[in-house]
Chain A
Amino acid sequence: MRVAIIGAGVIGLSTALCIHDRFHALVPRLQLEVYADRFTPHTTSDGAAGLWQPYVSDHGDLQETLWNKETFEHLLGHLNSPEAKEMGLFLISGYNLFTQPVPDPSWKNIVLGFRHLTPQELKLFPGYSYGWFNTALMLECRSYLPWLTNRLAQRGVKFFHRKVESFQELFTQGVHVVVNCTGVRAGELQPDPALQPARGQIIKVLAPWVKHFVITHNMESGIYSSPYIIPGSELTVLGGIYQEGNWSEENSAQDHSSVWERCCRLLPALQKAEIMQEWSGLRPARPSVRLERESIGHGRSRGEVIHNYGHGGFGITIHWGCAMAAARLLGSILQEGQPLS
């Protein structure tokens, strides 16, 4: 029973691990394979800062809120384990800032110690009149993806460094189920007008005195278009770019200036920070995550596809909940005795 996962970002690798955890003892002939043309550190996930935080408004999507919660709790369970450092997992506290009062987010009871900012705290951030403080988690993919890869390799999962051109290509080779974790380029395998790149550009600086994340919000211009500062284990990420429809992965001088100036205004001490790296990436934006089964093809090139893509700027935040949901879909496929050989 061959299950092929396409995509080796956080979604692909975690889905593979979740499937292996759940089924390897129950389905002795289960053979997992991961196909990707980009592996860590070259995936979209590697560029993300790694902060667990959903968008401030969930548009009433309870399913996604539940997946976020499952992910947080799964990670929290690993926090005190000896593996946490290798996973790139640690606690971090910080600020969300607004220019006007906003309703509390759906995740206020998922994170730790959520509260509103006091007037004294708001003095730290001139121009912002309202905000939240909470403790959340960081999961740095430059560590997490290698950790997932090692676990998968130890369990005999095979990796193939190549670009898959179609689902049929894999079915013809004898794969029974494909798990489609292709992120922003899912449209190349199957057109999906709902999926759009949402380009981001970040600057990584050396600013080890910054111990909190600071995320500002502009309710008019939208998520991640307003400056944010996220300290990682080595470097601090400065960002604030969200450009829907822009496929460029080249760094733009204009975006660099925009991020630099706005973040330095937010935290003047950053002017003294040394710039170490710059990166652009394409968030796989979609009105909602596509997580569903589909039967594809005909004759010899027929099989089941489980789609798991479109996680926008919250892939790390939601990944484990989605991995479990994808594993459940595989469970129902196995249950049905599908697919035909």
Chain B
Amino acid sequence: MAAPRVAVVGAGLIGLSTALCITEALPSCPITLLSEQFSPNTTSDVAAGMLIPHTYPDTPIHVQKQWFKETFSYLFAISNSAEVSEAGIHLVSGWQVFKNPPEDQVPFWSDIVLGFRPMSAAELQKFPQHRHGQAFTTLKCDCPPYLLWLEKRLKANGVQIHPRKVADLWELHSEYDIVVNCAGIGARQLMGDQQLFPVRGQVLKVHAPWVKNFIRDGDGSTYIYPGIHSVTLGGTREKESWRLSPDPGTTKDIFNRCCSLEPSLQQAQVIGVRVGLRPSRSCVRLQREVLSQGEAKLLVVHNYGHGAGGFSVHRGTAEEAARLVRECIAALQGSSSRAKL
């Protein structure tokens, strides 16, 4: 049997990193990446790319922890190398501050990030409205650089990349044996998955190069994440909103909330306002499916629904998706040898 033809749908963080894991695990498999959008126009480009996990209600914690650990280790190894500036990966330290005592004093990821500890009273003095806090060092993946770096690695591995809007996975069944669905929020239309819903986030990109530490309000709504060329100020969490255009009132509100955490931001120049629709789901859909019409079959691996936590778990879920692709190949080879009997 010839090497199975694999298509990956989606060129955001999940599509690119999944394609990379597959080609690393299965170097002889021809892989094609198909997507309607590419960087800088994906949801991933809007995100700050901070490795601070969000909790999926319906995924076991030990699985989420494993995904985060794999992702953190993978990026940590790159952060020690000469490639780190090209890849857009950098270490950043900072604080998560709470007005009320946090539900989770010791989150599941606290032993994976670096130097996690409660903030001292002296540190909390900088945040007069907050009474509790956690200090740690984590990693940040700046986009577009990180996505462009992934694309470069894919091309070096011979992965074909084609712009294409896929309206229905079945349309790929004659050209490909296995399709890996990393369509993100696009999966709502593509799969009709009603469990997937957008959570709209608006962010500001500002020029404030003196901000070297991150600050995040534990309620998740207000955050300041310093990147390589800009600082991301956020944000909003609007469930079921599909509005992609920025709202000026929201811009002012985000700016004010961030200035109350970090007053020096009053002097920051706003260089952009962007909106992303987090592809939210109670659990990441990471599973196989067989589509068929009559005798024809198409093996699908789904890897979507990462919501607000995509960056934190991307490598871990990509590796799992690559394992599922392996299973698909084994299934194809099994049925092909059965066909020969």
A interface, CB within 8 angstroms of B = 79-82, 84-86, 88, 90-93, 112-113, 115, 117-118, 120-121, 123-124, 133, 135, 138, 207-212, 231, 233-234, 268-269, 271-273
Contact = CB atoms under 8 A, between A and B. Distances in A.
A121 B137 contact: yes
A28 B138 CA distance: 55
Contacts of A121: 114-115, 137
Nearest to A90: B210
A268 B226 CA distance: 21
Interface in B253-311: 263-264, 266-267
Nearest to A272: B85
Interface stretch (B9-17, B117-125, B158-166, B243-251): B117-125
Contact of B80 (A90, A207, A212, A268): A268
A84 B263 contact: yes
Contact of B212 (A92, A117, A234): A92
A21 to B, nearest CB: 23
Given A84-B263, A93-B93, A271 B82 contact: yes
5 contacts: A92-B212, A138-B210, A211-B90, A212-B93, A269-B82
Contact of B209 (A91, A135, A208): A208
Contacts of B93: 93, 133, 135, 211-212
A86 B120 CA distance: 28
Contacts of A123: 76, 80
Interface in B198-244: 209-213, 226, 228-229
Nearest to A268: B82
Given A84-B263, A209-B228, A91 B212 contact: yes
Contacts of B229: 208
A268 B126 contact: no
B228 A112 contact: no
Given A211-B93, A269-B81, 18 more contacts: A80-B263, A81-B263, A85-B210, A92-B212, A92-B213, A93-B213, A115-B115, A121-B114, A121-B137, A123-B76, A135-B123, A138-B210, A208-B209, A209-B90, A209-B228, A211-B212, A212-B212, A269-B85
B81 A113 contact: no
Contacts, number: 100
A63 B76 CA distance: 42
3 shortest A-B CB distances, which residue pairs?
A90-B210, A233-B210, A209-B90
B82 A234 contact: no
A113 B135 contact: yes
Given A112-B120, A133-B115, A271-B82, A208 B210 contact: no
A50 to B, nearest CB: 11
Interface string B84-97: 11101111111000
Nearest to A81: B263
Nearest to B89: A209
Given A80-B126, A112-B122, A91 B90 contact: no
Contacts of A207: 85
Given A208-B209, A211-B91, A211-B92, A90 B84 contact: no
B115 A82 contact: no
A86 B210 CA distance: 11
B267 A85 contact: yes
Given A82-B263, A268-B80, A273-B85, A118 B209 contact: no
B210 A113 contact: no
B271 to A, nearest CB: 14
Most buried by A among B82, B210, B226, B263: B210
Nearest to B208: A85
A91 B119 CA distance: 15
Given A92-B213, A208-B228, A268 B81 contact: yes
Contact of B120 (A113, A210, A268, A269): A113
Nearest to B266: A82
A212 B91 contact: yes
Given A208-B228, A272-B86, A91 B213 contact: yes
Given A85-B267, A212-B93, A115 B117 contact: yes
A272 B82 contact: yes
Contact of A120 (B114, B120, B211): B114
Contacts of B119: 113
Contact of B114 (A81, A88, A118, A210): A118
Contacts of B80: 123-124, 268
A133 to B, nearest CB: 6
Interface in B63-115: 76, 79-86, 88-94, 114-115
